[in-house]
Amino acid sequence: MSDSPPPLPSGLVAFVKRDCPTCETVAPVLGQLAEVGALTIYSQDDPGFPKGLAVEDDTELESSWRHGIDTVPTLLRVEAGKEKERAVGWDREAWERLAAAKDLGPGLPDFRPGCGSLSVDPQNALDLAVRFGSDSLKARRVRYAPLEDEMEAAFERGWTDGLPVVPPTERRVFAMLQGTSRAPDEVVAVVPPDLVECSVEKVAINAVMAGCRPEYLPVVLAAVEAACTERFNMHGLLATTMPAGPVIIVNGPIRRAIGMNSGGNVFGQGNRANATIGRALQLVVRNVGGGRPGEVDRAAFGNPGKLSFCFAEDEEGSPWGPLSEDLGAERGVSTVTLFPGEGPRIIVDQLSREPDSLARSYAANLRTLIHPKLVLGFDCVLAVGPEHARVFSQAGWTKEQLKDRLHELLMIPTEELVQGAGGIAEGVPVGVSAPALPKFRPGGILVVYCGGDAGLFSTMIGGWVTGEVGSQPTLREIRP
């Protein structure tokens, strides 16, 4: 069945329902219009209403759904089968303009709002979308055998990440698509490694499978866009034997609107938005792009974050500005930042009450990322916890001061880094002329504020290879 609306009869077309006080009010007006010109009336709940007038039976709600009727009464002016103008509710001036008539509804108020159309009633909307709009979904339909279990079928067909997925029925996909204003067939990105075009619909399907709510979909779409850029280099991140994967950091008002966790257990289980947004991105890479473990995904160890690693920054509690602003976004804009990271590692310092002491603790831990003797090749995320942040804020340290001090402390004598130093073969090549080398490149330390307010802890997330041959932190604005 086509999802394009059938032509409407030329003239005036009205959509009404008996169970609407405003429709009852305008019934005499419809009688006036029927006397002076072509009028077609579609009734959503009673083919005998309005009484005494010719009425088209729309109790199946197909015409209302196909023509986007949100409110009744709605009056349309149609020419050659195409809508030219509409008036929603009873508005004498608008109705008289559409009908080219005067003195409509004498004795009635000039304006009365209408009622919700049955075609957008939550009890009906998704079922109508499945019945009349299924052709707008382009994805292949999969038919199960009578005795086949939906969950087991997903495992057998290789659609899962090792955990059960939610079967993406047409109804669930339509519900998911309500979370965005973007068209289902809009191409979001070309997904590596197979370089397959991925539409909004395909992202929605994987978001359903991941367990997302519709309001999470714009975040997932932005994450997919960021992951599929040359800057982020998702293909390289898959192909590496290192255990890194995409880490999604969310900033802006959407964090609170969808209930993301930025506090206690921020990297752990229990928050649906955090868990399913990260999982949806991974499923898109797997199911659309073909990035499966043991194939293109060559990680020797991997890490649990490759199932899902997504969290929000606690902007309200932070003494500093958000990460998104550091990367060029305007304050108050909702964004995702993708970072190519390994699993989180705790930094414990229960005793430092001076900022320089705590910064030295951070530096001692950060030096160990990847390997204490490997430098410049890897960025990191430093997630500063609330109790540690208070040490810096009470001393008046800005985020930039902290990062500058860390870079100073992480200038490491080259003699400690060269191959063979300390009896360790790993290290930088012998013969490097610089007396000291920085652990991280300039700008390679990303500082975010998050975590629970009990415990003098922070966390570090090591990165994958930086620069053009590797991956770089990638920011994308979240579009509705």
| Claim to verify: residue 114 and residue 168 sit in the same structural domain | no
Residue where a domain stops, chosen among 90, 119, 148: 119
Q: What is the pLDDT of residues 305-332, one digit of tens each?
A: 999 999 999 999 999 999 999 999 999 9
Clarify whether residues 186 and 115 are in a common domain: no
171 with 237, same domain: the answer is yes
Across 326-348, average pLDDT: 97
The range of the structural domain enclosing residue 418 comes to 156-427+434-477
Residue 134 pairs with which residues in a beta bridge?
A: none
Residues 164 and 313 both lie in one domain: yes
Domain presence at residue 150: no
For residue 192, pLDDT over 50 is answered with: yes
> Six-digit token pair at 418?
């060269």
Picking from 308, 329, 345, the residue whose alpha carbon sits closest to that of residue 478 is 329
Q: Do 112 and 160 have their domain in common?
A: no
In a domain, 140, yes or no: no
This prediction's pTM: 0.91
In a domain, 164, yes or no: yes
With CA atoms as reference, report the closest residue to 329 among 260, 400, 397, 250. 250
Residue 20's pLDDT is 97
112 and 163 both lie in a single domain: no
Same domain (yes/no): 241, 375: yes
Q: How far apart are CA 84 and CA 8, in angstroms?
A: 11
The per-residue DSSP string of 97-150 comes to HHHT-SS-STTS-SEE--EE-GGGSTTTHHHHHHHHHGGG--SPP-PPPTT--H
Instruction: Answer whether residue 278 is part of any domain.
Output: yes
**What is residue 2's predicted lDDT score, i.e. its pLDDT?**
46
Which tens digits make up the pLDDT trace of 108-151?
999 999 999 999 999 999 999 999 988 889 999 988 888 899 99
Residue 413 lies in a domain: yes
- Which CATH number goes with the domain that contains 99? 3.40.30.10
Number of domains in the chain: 2
Q: How far is CA 138 from CA 65, 205, 270, in A?
A: 20, 11, 34
Q: In sequence order, what are the residues at sequence separation of 6 or more whose Cβ sits closer than 8 angstroms to the Cβ of residue 208?
A: 166, 168, 172, 173, 176
